[in-house]
Amino acid sequence: MSEHSTDLEPRRARPDDAETLAQLLHDFNTEFDTPTPGPAVLTKRLQSLLAAPSTIAYLVGEPAAGFALVTLRSNVWYDGPVALLDELYVVPDRRSHGLGAAIIHRLIADAEEQGISAIEINVDAGDVDAQRFYERHGFSGTDHDTGEHAYYYSLEL
């Protein structure tokens, strides 16, 4: 066992886990020089989001060393909801120990059990490590019908 006694079984986060999730999300954005409103604002938002059925989060490790944040939406092309994996993060010194894989496996198992029709992920073009990680777990960056490369566009309002 490593110096960090870790349970590799991710657990579903509850609204009272919002502060832990907020700190990890803040650390994630800080690590990659992405703007963050700070843990206090994120905690408040996460408490509200996690109380609703359209947001799911997982924590892994004790103390928590990784998380996933997932939002659900309906979609005309599927019978069941579509899950968007908004964030997946493992703290730097715990990477390559199976935490991210454990989260993905739990997410997929729960999604199948809950009748979720698809899981979508947006990955930056230059983030080849993330692309390889998701591809190892069965995700594809191409359209399943056409084989064309998939693109993500956004417009912040």
**Residue 66, in any domain of the structure:** yes
For residue 50, what is the domain's CATH number?
3.40.630.30
pLDDT at 154: 82
**Residue 123, in any domain of the structure:** yes
**Residue 116, in any domain of the structure:** yes
Structurally, the chain folds into a number of domains equal to 1
User: 151 is written with which tokens?
Assistant: 């693109």
Give the tens place of pLDDT for each residue, 6-38: 478 999 999 999 999 999 999 999 999 999 999
**Residue 76, in any domain of the structure:** yes
Report helix, strand or coil for 82.
strand
pTM: 0.90
Instruction: Evaluate if residue 66 carries a pLDDT over 50.
Output: yes
Give the tens place of pLDDT for each residue, 136-145: 999 998 888 8
Instruction: Evaluate if residue 2 carries a pLDDT over 70.
Output: no
**Residue 20, in any domain of the structure:** yes
Query: What residue numbers bound the domain in which 62 lies?
Result: 11-136
Give the tens place of pLDDT for each residue, 93-112: 999 999 999 999 999 999 99
DSSP symbols for 84-130 = EEEEEEE-GGGTTSSHHHHHHHHHHHHHHHTT--EEEE---TT-HHH
